[in-house]
């Protein structure tokens, strides 16, 4: 079971969560603060929290594309890049992930919170 505890040293609403046997720092909406703290095990446990019991290959294609693009370009991909890179429409991605693209796919990919991007 995931154990969260507040940390006043990191910022308002930031807390450590136990995912995949390791502590990772998340923001108030559950997004990783450090994308390099991500692992597939972290993604699997985050998915379960969102109600997604199993990450299928289509999910992994999207998650891996988001991560690869982010680390190659220093930012999250635009909608047209996501469609081109995954071969999926935005509607398909929205339906595939609980929480859609923002609160689902981006969160499971370990990308920073897109609060100001949407």
Task: For the beta carbon of residue 84, count every other beta carbon within 10 angstroms.
Answer: 12
User: How far is Cα 1 from Cα 96, in angstroms, rounded to an integer?
Assistant: 24
The answer to whether 88 and 62 have CB atoms below 8 angstroms apart is yes
Write out the DSSP string of 36-48. Answer: GG--HHHHHHHHH
Q: 56 an active-site residue? A: no
- Pairwise CA distance, residues 13 & 55, whole Å: 28
Name the catalytic one among 2, 71, 95, 117.
117
- Cα–Cα nearest to 90, from 62, 49, 60, 53: 62
Tokens representing 82 are: 């996501």
Which residues are identified as catalytic? Answer: 117
């Amino acid at each position: 079971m995931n154990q969260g505890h507040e940390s006043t040293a990191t910022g308002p609403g930031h807390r450590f969560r136990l995912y995949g046997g390791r502590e990772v720092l998340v923001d108030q909406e559950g997004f990783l603060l450090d994308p390099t703290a991500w692992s597939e095990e972290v993604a699997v446990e985050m998915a379960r929290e969102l109600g997604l019991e199993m990450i299928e290959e289509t999910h992994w294609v999207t998650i891996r594309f988001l991560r690869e693009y982010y680390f190659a370009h220093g930012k999250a991909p635009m909608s047209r890049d996501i469609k081109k890179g995954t071969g999926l429409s935005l509607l398909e991605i929205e339906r595939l992930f609980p929480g859609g693209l923002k609160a689902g796919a981006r969160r499971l990919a370990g990308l920073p919170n897109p609060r100001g991007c949407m």
